[in-house]
Structure 1
Amino acid sequence: MGKGTKAMQRRSLLGAGLGGLAAAGGAGRPARAEATPGISATEIRFGGTTALSGPVSALGVQCRAVEGVCRMANEQGGIAGRKLSYILYDDGFSPPKTLEQVRRLVEQDRVAFLFNMLGTAPNNAVVRYVNQRKVPHLFLSVNGDKWGDHEAHPWTMGFAPSARTEAQVFARHALAQKPDARFALLYQNDDFGRDYIAGLRDVLGAEYDARVRAASYEVTDPTVDSQLIALQGADVLVSGVTAKFAAMAIRRLHELGARMAHYIPSGASSVAGVIQPAGAERALGTITSAYLKDPNDPAWAGDAGMARYREFMARYLADADIADIYYTYGYTVGLALLQILRQCEGELTRERIMREAANLRGLELPTLLPGIRVDTSPIDYRPLQQLQLVRWDGRMWARFGAVIEGGTG
């Protein structure tokens, strides 16, 4: 279902200052909250796991921003008179550790819901468990298309545009530049990486096998040098990779003198986490997709939404690198969570929380690009399906073209 077909009842956080963003929870009507784990008369307790150590730990800073949003909300009186309590455990991007820590969160810490958990393989390890126990498993930090399947796992929902949608957009843009383009695909050997295969197949159809040469890697691999050497000679390289491997790929392509057009995931495009480690000049011309305002882009210097974001960072995360877009992501997803909890109107049961997660209509957030909104419904668990292409110009990600409505299949 396209987002444009949905009712556009806008619930915007664009006009709120820091106080307004958090204070709107109010004193909602008392709920059957005492029957819900993690909910008391004074507390909303939730949690999650992320990689604070290990090969993808650069992404873990998202959760620091979520912690900051919780502090902001609590300073302003919480939600429905309750303070937010966020319990975060390090899983090192290890699925067995994820399952161990999630069981601890659900069975010992008794959280009301799980939030912003990082990674395809870690979430795969727990999705059956949390759905069997009917624990909301919300706004996962993943790009897999499967996380929008409301029938397969009705208690689980992603947030970012899917990798499959992103791959479709990349392929269509590449073909518009060169209709006979030959593609190389570097992908992580899991569901996340395989979504890039699916997206290219969606666009290329029966020509996929003739036009695409693909190579996979494991998240534990020390380098992707051999894969990139084998993929030389194509016109286009689509890298379905995480941050560490995106930086490696950019650096190695430059060393090889490869002239392929290079597309990388939006989730692996942080200036601080990817471009700077790879080298800004080496990344010149690299393309990705965007749905967040880039804190490094001077176009947003006078933007009211980004002014509020900078105020938030200065107040709650003063020691953080404001140039790192993973903080921007964490702030954005944290604000979306506040909206869900407000919509519960004090009825903070797991069922109501899940129902409101699937009832976000035209939600505008201060750090989303203009024209991009959060939309969900009971049959559409893909909150963001709009993208804009951006190109690294040596200093920043420069937007070009119009916002593109995505979709799969």
Structure 2
Amino acid sequence: MVLGALVLGAEAALAQKPTPGVTGTEIKIGQSAPFSGPASAYGQISTAEADYFKMINDQGGINGRKIRLIAQDDGYSPPKTIEVVRRLIEEEQVAILFQTIGTAPNAAIRRYVNQKKVPDIWLGSGASMFVSDSKAYPWSIPFQPSYRLEGQMYAKYILEKKPDSKVAILYQNDDLGRDYVAGLKDGLGGKFATMVVKVLSYEVTDPTIDSQIVELQSSGANVLVDASTPKFAAMAIRKVADMDWHPLHIIDSNGALVKPALESAGFDKSAGVVTAAYLKDPTDPQWADDPGMKDFQAWRAKYAPESDPANPVWAYGYTMAQALVVVLKQAGNDLSRANILKAATHLPDTTKLPLVLPGIAISTSPTDYRPMKSMRLAQFDGKRYHLLPE
């Protein structure tokens, strides 16, 4: 009987083993982010998220626990991301990962993360691989709409507005860029082979994409679809304008940021750019009296005075941090990794995030790792984006 009691006691102790990074007063979360390198424009996403958690902590945290974000620079380099994430999990002993940024970095770490059974909540990529492989990698959960879906939307728009056009495609040579090409193929269907006259790629290490733009222009295309990140989107806009080429220029939602991409290229040169969006634009007067936008602006004033409302990474980071808070609240006092994963994969269809555009549904399930189901097309007028009619 004594031996039996000892065994039962040992089992109970194992069952109650605390989650790494979780104490009675704190939950420690880890993040890899590109504070340097070719995608350093996205580093401010992490800054926005940290600033949002400051507000939550000042309000008492989540069920009495403060959120401690440990964000480390990976330079948008997959080998470095692996180093950073190993350090966060094994040395820093974070409870979960949050918003690990970038398609290639996330592809590099997901096998390790899933072997360790550490939730990577709202990873920062819309690549379809993170949705289609959810059974093989259940601990890695994206949030934003898939790039393939976005590519399908652009194809539909081209067929509606320019059905007889000649299309040129420039894409970043990784899973991000290839997803957009796949979406265009899905959407154009049998017309892809006849409408698309040239497809070229670039590497994130390339110093310039001028030669690709020259070759695409010489193809005779009057539509340019640009699947890129901000640095290269700005290069493309400038070169297109300098060549006096005037195609319908579609840029993916990653690359089409007003700041830094369009501002860097020149707002006059960026007029007419079409992209897709799922968040309200803080610079758009139509949202001035929106309650969610008022809360965002109040947060900016108090917790993120360095933020620029015209740079959408701030609204994005704010929203992703809000989405994590939803998960942690839903997990309640059981902050085991398994229960946090369960909370993230059981968002009800009543879930609302104040800066998400009206009509865009949010929900998850163990068989649906696509929290955000759709987007809206928008066009830049030289000052701001305007939503196009649905």
Which residue of 182, 185, 210 corresponds with 2:166? 182
Percent of paired sites with the same residue: 46
Are 1:401 and 2:380 an aligned pair? no
Which residue of 235, 249, 253 corresponds with 1:248? 235
Q: CA RMSD in A?
A: 1.2
Runs of 4+ in 1 over 4 A off after TM superposition: none
CA distance in 1, matches of 2:190, 2:114: 36
C-alpha deviation, 1:34, in angstroms: 5.0
TM-score (normalised: structure 1): 0.89
Match of 1:224 in 2: 209
Which residue of 172, 176, 191 corresponds with 2:156? 172
1:9-408 aligned at under 5 Å gives the runs: 35-149=18-132, 150-212=134-196, 213-232=198-217, 233-362=220-349, 363-402=351-390
CA distance in 2, matches of 1:179, 1:319: 44
Gaps of 5+ in 2: 1-14
Aligned positions, number: 371
Q: Tell me the alpha carbon deviations over residues 78-103 of structure 1, each in whole angstroms, 9 at most, x when there is no partner.
A: 11211111000000111111000100
C-alpha deviation, 1:143, in angstroms: 2.1
Secondary structure at 2:150's aligned position in 1?
A: helix
- Kept after mapping to 1: 8 A contact 2:114/2:139: yes
Secondary structure at 1:282's aligned position in 2?
A: helix
TM-score (normalised: structure 2): 0.93
Letter in 1 for 2:385: W
* Residues 33 and 205 of structure 1: CA distance in aligned 2, closer, same or farther (over 3 Å): farther
CA distance in 2, matches of 1:394, 1:322: 16
C-alpha deviation, 1:323, in angstroms: 2.0
- Kept after mapping to 2: 8 A contact 1:105/1:111: yes
Secondary structure at 1:66's aligned position in 2?
A: helix
Q: Tell me the alpha carbon deviations over residues 269-328 of structure 1, each in whole angstroms, 9 at most, x when there is no partner.
A: 221211110100101111001100111111111111111000001111112222211010
- Kept after mapping to 1: 8 A contact 2:227/2:255: no
Q: Tell me the alpha carbon deviations over residues 161-192 of structure 1, each in whole angstroms, 9 at most, x when there is no partner.
A: 11111110001001101222221110000111
CA distance in 2, matches of 1:211, 1:173: 14
Gaps of 5+ in 1: 1-31, 403-409
Q: Compare CA radii of gyration and give the structure with the larger one.
A: 2
CA distance in 2, matches of 1:165, 1:172: 11
Q: Tell me the alpha carbon deviations over residues 222-268 of structure 1, each in whole angstroms, 9 at most, x when there is no partner.
A: 11111111111212111110011111111111111112111111122
